[in-house]
């Protein structure tokens, strides 16, 4: 006798609420600022021009935002964590760059269809709960012939392995798709389909810290997903997670002088919206 069981529907609203709380914890800007070069190279990848209207989605503390504004584009920076937008606002003010900052959900962008020439997201939209809805929104607000530029960690990257390590101690909700799927061309093709032409290349960002312990301290204190994972565990499991993360760092570290250089693979993606 075959017994069929139904997979329970994923409560994406609840998942999003937990994710928003996660990214609101700690201070992602401490980690995010080190990733500035990714925003710069992404703007070059989309061949950004000064006369373009640009939207940065899930902008965090504004790496792609600032990169686009430095190229004299008309930039709107959005995130659903207001504190992160404030960090971006402070950075733009320090450089006297004109940027519009607006709280917004990547899955429900408050902008008209085809409003922007370029839509950007660096390690941001990949963490949305409803991945298909987020992809649809990126396409919707991008004009025909416009470009969507993404930087997404790959499944086997250093960051991808951080999430796998965390998952051993704090498993994700059943049925929730891994954010690292955005770092694969096959998944991007499924998300964006025939509505877009996709060009992607593997790139590496080097995490540079004083030591393995320094990286763990920064991530454990400021990077929301790691901070929340440690906070959910008792003392013994916290110690075990710390040991596993240090072992992971050792596996990726290429420095031999006592410091730390960890290459983090990501997929640099340029999507052109078709008519």
For CA atoms 233, 236, 239, 241, give the dihedral sign: negative
- Cα(266)–Cα(201) distance, rounded to whole angstroms? 8
Q: Give the residue-averaged pLDDT of 107-124.
A: 98
- pLDDT tier, 174 (very low <50, low <70, confident <90, very high otherwise): confident
In the block, which residue shows the tokens 């997201």?
A: 121
Return the number of other C-beta atoms located less than 10 Å from residue 254's C-beta: 9
CA 118 to chain centre: 17
**Each residue's pLDDT tens digit, 228-259:** 999 999 999 999 999 999 999 999 999 999 99
The pLDDT value recorded for residue 15 is 85
CA distance 30 to 218: 8
Question: What's the pLDDT score for residue 1?
Answer: 42
pLDDT for position 8: 53
pLDDT level of residue 173 (50, 70, 90 thresholds): confident
Predicted TM-score (pTM) of the model is 0.94
**Whether pLDDT at 87 is above 70:** yes
- Edge-first strand order for the sheet with 196-209 is 99-103, 74-79, 53-56, 116-122, 142-153, 260-273, 196-209
What is the average pLDDT score of the chain? Answer: 94
Q: Could you give the CA distance from residue 161 to residue 169 in angstroms, rounded to a whole number?
A: 13
Region 151-174: mean pLDDT is: 95
Mean pLDDT of the region 179-206: 97
Distance set, CA 7 to CA 11, 141, 190, 253 (Å): 12, 33, 22, 40
Q: Residues 154-165: what's their mean pLDDT?
A: 97
For residue range 1-59, what is the model confidence (pLDDT) as tens digits?
Answer: 444 444 457 788 888 888 888 888 989 999 999 999 999 999 999 999 999 999 999 99
What sign results for the dihedral spanned by CA atoms 262, 264, 33, 165?
Answer: negative
C-alpha–C-alpha distance, residues 57 and 150, integer Å: 10
Q: Say what the pLDDT of residue 19 is.
A: 85
183 has a pLDDT exceeding 70: yes
């Amino acid at each position: 006798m075959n017994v069929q069981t139904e997979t329970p529907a994923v409560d994406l609203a609840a998942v999003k609420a937990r994710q928003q709380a996660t990214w609101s914890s700690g201070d992602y800007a401490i980690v995010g600022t080190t990733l500035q070069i990714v925003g710069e190279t992404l703007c070059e990848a989309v061949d950004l021009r000064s006369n373009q209207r640009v939207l940065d989605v899930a902008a965090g503390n504004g790496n792609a935002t600032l990169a686009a504004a430095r190229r004299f584009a008309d930039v709107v920076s959005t995130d659903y964590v207001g504190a992160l937008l404030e960090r971006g606002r402070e950075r733009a003010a320090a450089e006297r760059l004109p940027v519009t900052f607006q709280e917004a959900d990547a899955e429900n962008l408050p902008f008209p269809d085809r409003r922007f020439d370029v839509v950007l997201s660096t390690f941001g939209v990949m963490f949305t709960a409803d991945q298909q809805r987020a992809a649809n929104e990126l396409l919707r607000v991008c004009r025909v012939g416009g470009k969507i530029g993404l930087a997404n960690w790959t499944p086997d990257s250093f960051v991808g392995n951080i999430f796998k390590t965390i998952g051993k101690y704090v498993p994700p909700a059943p049925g929730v798709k891994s954010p690292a799927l955005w770092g694969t061309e096959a998944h991007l093709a499924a998300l964006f389909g025939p509505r877009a032409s996709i060009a992607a290349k593997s790139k590496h960002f080097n995490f540079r810290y004083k030591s393995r312990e320094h990286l763990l301290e920064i991530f454990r204190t400021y990077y929301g997903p790691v901070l929340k994972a440690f906070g959910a565990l008792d003392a013994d499991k916290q110690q075990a997670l710390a040991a596993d993360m240090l072992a992971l760092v050792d596996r990726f570290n290429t420095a031999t002088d006592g410091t730390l250089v960890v290459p983090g693979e990501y997929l640099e993606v340029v999507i052109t919206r078709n008519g």
